[in-house]
């Protein structure tokens, strides 16, 4: 009887260990139905080929562009670049754009936000309660640039109405964001160069 109990305990323990291993493995591996690599950055989706979804997003007239900031980390300038870049190109193409600077703590929890309310000349601080509905507003196309994950590989996760940019490092933020922008609008580089020329003449 004792041996049977020991056997069952051993089987249960082995099952629990296997289950734990499977859960841990699932947490750290992201598999997507569609994947395409562009200049070392993976564009992935579970809905349709990323290129098709990006094309569909480019035809939207209204956007929310979000970038994640961690106050006190000295990364503000780098994380602000995607906001400026997306806003510049989208506005020049006649799109309505609301930008949001999402402030988070070390765990990724939102602590506050700043938004321009769709006006390039404005910027105001808003509470988490005010910010949350904007971040989940599916009536607009959303582009969300996450804080670098140090995961080793950069990802652009695409779904209907949403692009999530996950840079692997701080150095990758601008490059990955630009590749995502260029996947939507192939003439993005020319538009940015033209904007810079105009600014240089002012």
- Judged by DSSP in three states, 73 sits in coil
State how far the alpha carbon of 9 is from the alpha carbons of 6, 17, 18, 21, in Å: 5, 12, 14, 18
DSSP 147: P
pLDDT at 6: 52
With CA atoms as reference, report the closest residue to 71 among 32, 39, 101: 101
With CA atoms as reference, report the closest residue to 177 among 74, 83, 55, 104: 83
Tell me which of 24 and 171 has the higher pLDDT.
Answer: 171
Q: What are phi and psi of 93, to 5 degrees?
A: -95, 5
**pLDDT tens digits for 57-99?**
999 999 999 999 999 999 999 999 999 999 999 999 999 999 9
Band the pLDDT of 17: cuts 50, 70, 90.
Answer: very low
| Strand ranges for the chain from DSSP E | 34-38, 41-45, 62-69, 96-104, 110-115, 124-126, 141-145, 155-159, 162-166
Across the range 36-62, mean pLDDT stands at: 95
Q: Which residue carries 């929310």 as its tokens?
A: 64
Q: Above 70 in pLDDT, residue 23? A: no
Pairwise CA distance, residues 56 & 141, whole Å: 10
């Amino acid at each position: 009887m004792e041996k049977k109990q020991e056997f069952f305990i051993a089987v249960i323990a082995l099952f629990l260990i296997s289950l734990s291993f499977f859960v841990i493995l699932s947490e750290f591996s992201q598999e997507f139905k569609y994947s395409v690599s562009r200049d070392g950055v993976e564009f992935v989706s579970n809905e349709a080929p990323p290129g098709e979804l990006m094309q569909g997003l480019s035809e939207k007239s209204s956007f929310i562009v979000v970038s994640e900031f961690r106050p006190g980390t000295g990364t503000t300038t780098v994380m602000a670049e995607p906001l400026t870049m997306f806003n510049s190109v989208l506005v020049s193409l006649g799109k309505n754009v609301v930008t949001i600077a999402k402030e988070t703590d070390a765990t990724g929890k939102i602590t506050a936000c700043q938004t321009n309310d769709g006006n390039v000349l404005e910027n105001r601080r808003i509470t988490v309660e005010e910010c949350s509905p904007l971040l989940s507003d599916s009536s607009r196309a959303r582009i969300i640039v996450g804080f670098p994950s140090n995961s080793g590989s950069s990802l652009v996760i695409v779904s209907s109405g949403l692009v999530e940019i996950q840079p692997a490092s701080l150095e990758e933020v601008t490059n990955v964001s630009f590749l995502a922008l260029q996947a939507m609008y192939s003439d993005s580089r020319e538009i940015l160069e033209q904007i810079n020329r105009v600014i240089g003449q002012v």
